[in-house]
Amino acid sequence: MELSAFVVLTVLAIVSAMVVILHRNQVVAALSLAANLVSIAGFYLLLHAQFLALLQVIVYAGAIMVLILFVLMLLNLPEESRRARAPGPIQAGLGVVLAAVFVAVMGWAVFGATEASAFPRPSPAFGTVASVGTVLFRDYFYAFEAISLLLVVAMVGAVLLAKRRL
């Protein structure tokens, strides 16, 4: 049951990511990214991180992606035209090989971090709002305040940058 959910989510995540990086129409790419974000939220649920899964949907898929879609639709951009010098077959093939090498090297680095063959049973309070909230407000309190300050600065900066006339 868990394995089938994992396979479905993996296929969904990788296919939607490929649509994002390959499709010419930018709005379709944005909607596909939203699907990718929801599938990542599904991964979090599989890993018993319920609070983060819900946050991922609310913040990432529900707010950030809507913001990106707004900008895309308001700017009314045409589809990305074909490159004047489209990559030839040698270039494209080399690109794929390099990407595969990249995955191999990163995979080797990441796999060395753990030798476990299965996830251990989580403690019953793992991933609950209470456990994440306690750690957040007790151990990372200053970081929390700093990031709220950063959000205010980002808001002010975004408004200033996008204004027509200061």
Rule CB under 8 A: say whether 64 interacts with another protein: yes
Instruction: Decide: is 28 part of the binding site for another protein (CB under 8 A).
Output: yes
Q: Does 43 bind another protein (CB under 8 A)?
A: yes
Candidate residues 8, 73, 94, 97; the one interacting with another protein per rule CB under 8 A:
73
d(CA 15, CA 104): 19
Of 18 and 93, the one with the shorter C-beta distance to another protein is: 18
Q: Could you tell me the smallest distance in angstroms from the CB atom of residue 108 to another protein?
A: 10
80, 86, 88, 92: CA torsion to nearest 10: -30
Q: What is the largest CA-CA distance in the chain?
A: 59
Q: How many residues interact with another protein (rule CB under 8 A)? A: 101
Closest distance of CB 88 from another protein, Å: 14
Residue 47 near another protein by CB under 8 A: yes
Of 88, 89, 90, 164, the one binding another protein (CB under 8 A) is 164
Q: Tell me which residue of 115, 116, 138, 135 sits closest to 127, measured CA to CA.
A: 135
Task: Report how far residue 55's alpha carbon sits from residue 35's, in angstroms, rounded to the nearest whole number.
Answer: 15
Single out the residue of 86, 90, 161, 166 in contact with another protein (rule: CB under 8 A): 161
3-state helix, strand, coil in the chain (%, to 5): 75, 0, 25
Q: d(Cα 158, Cα 71) in Å, to the nearest integer?
A: 13
- The minimum distance between CB 111 and another protein, in angstroms, equals 6
Q: Is 42 in the site for another protein (CB under 8 A)?
A: no
Total Cβ atoms within 10 A of residue 49: 19
Residue of 90, 111, 165, 166 interacting with another protein (CB under 8 A)? 111
